[in-house]
Amino acid sequence: MDGKNAVKGREYHEFIAKKRLFVFALAVALVLVFLMAVALGSSSLPLGRVLATLFGQGEKQENIIVWNLRLPRAATAVVAGFGLGMTGCVMQGILRNPLASASTIGVSQGAAFGAAFAIIVLGGGMMAAGTTGAQLSVTNPAITTICAFAGSMVSTVFIVGMSRFKRMGPGLLILAGTALSALFSAGTTLMEYFADDVRVAAVVYWTFGDIGSTFCKEIAMMAVVVLLIGVYFRLNCWNYNAMQGGADTAKGLGVSTDRILICGMVAGSFCAAVIVSYIGIINFVGLIAPHMVRRFVGTDYRFLLPASGLAGAILLLLSDTAARILVAPIVLPIGAITSMLGAPVFLWIILKGRWRQ
């Protein structure tokens, strides 16, 4: 018996080691993609010169390209992608819906409506000239974030209420999210209709999604929020694992499913709201990232959560690099790139019938 237990213990440790190795490989891949994103662009730099510039050995032009232009973009993509990836992972788990993410249940669109309200009505943002052309300058990030959070919470309360009190299935929840998205989009359109040209331009440019208008202060703010929410999610990994067996099973294990569901949705919505308030709508990153890694690490949230965050960061970095080099020197809207990647995956999940599971 002891021999069998030893064999099973060894097999378990090998099983866990493979998952850890995969997460480590993702982290290494993220570093490589990060360096590639900094190196590539309309004026490409050799990797050696990028490393030299990062260590203070670059020439004047290289310092401008790396430190002023590409490094902030790459850092923003990493922070935002990680936050959206882990948020989508948790939402899919606590709602038990593989189609759930901030962009598919109306959370992002609600946050976008709130942020647009801050920009147009409260003067939270204006168009300003930047190093790469017109950019959105968030003149009052606190108001913009608060309004974005309020808008996202409307969707959150609605979806949580539908899932709990009306007992709606996964497919109907997505339809409800689609209806909410349309409603918020209509509200944003009406505000744009009565706004002046400058504010309309700011909102339209903002809704394209742009990770090139953030600087140290904005990146630090997003990083702090993503870190704190990530710590909260990590502390609840065992609760998320228990909920995969259903609400009754989780309650039998001592998990307060109501509290975990509400707190998880609120935390995820706040994370998405902060990201959206600074970089605009980035669709489908939170949907794709967990599905990219789930087949390799399974549904154990100790590994699925960091793997989804790393995959989201890699995906957003690659999308931004493609947006900058496809028709250089023109920078394509990052939201369009992620939507082109995410829409086929969304349809594939539906056609495979995985939303019924």
3-state secondary structure of 95: coil
DSSP annotation of 204: H
Q: Which CATH class is domain 2-356?
A: mainly alpha
Instruction: Identify the pLDDT of residue 356.
Output: 47
Pairing type for strands 125-130 and 133-138 reads antiparallel
């808008």: which residue's tokens?
151
Instruction: Identify the pLDDT of residue 166.
Output: 66
Instruction: Identify the pLDDT of residue 84.
Output: 95
- Exposure string for 97-131, b = 16+ CB within 10 A, e = fewer: bbbbbbbbbbbbbbbbbbbbbbbbeeebbebeeee
Whole-number Å distance between alpha carbons of 341 and 283: 9
pTM value is 0.88
Instruction: Identify the pLDDT of residue 98.
Output: 83
Q: Which amino acid is at 156?
A: T
Q: What is the pLDDT along the chain (357 residues), one digit of tens a residue?
A: 556 666 666 777 888 999 999 999 999 999 999 999 999 988 888 999 999 999 888 888 889 999 998 999 999 999 999 999 999 999 999 888 888 888 888 888 898 898 889 888 887 655 454 444 444 455 566 787 788 888 888 888 888 787 777 666 666 777 888 888 899 989 998 998 888 887 887 777 777 788 887 888 889 999 999 999 999 999 999 999 998 887 788 888 888 888 898 889 889 988 988 888 888 888 889 989 999 899 899 889 999 999 999 999 999 999 999 999 988 788 888 888 888 877 787 777 667 654 444
Instruction: Identify the pLDDT of residue 197.
Output: 80
Q: Could you tell me if 46 and 75 are in contact, meaning their C-beta atoms sit under 8 angstroms apart?
A: no
Cis preceding-peptide flag for 329 (omega within 30 of 0)? yes
Whole-number Å distance between alpha carbons of 46 and 300: 40
**H helices present in 40-97, as ranges:** 47-54, 60-63, 71-94
Provide the residue ranges of all domains of the chain, joining segments of one domain with +. Answer: 2-356
Taking alpha carbons only, the member of 118, 117, 4, 32 closest to residue 318 is 32
Whole-number Å distance between alpha carbons of 339 and 283: 6
Residue 354: what are its φ and ψ, rounded to 5°? Answer: -70, -20
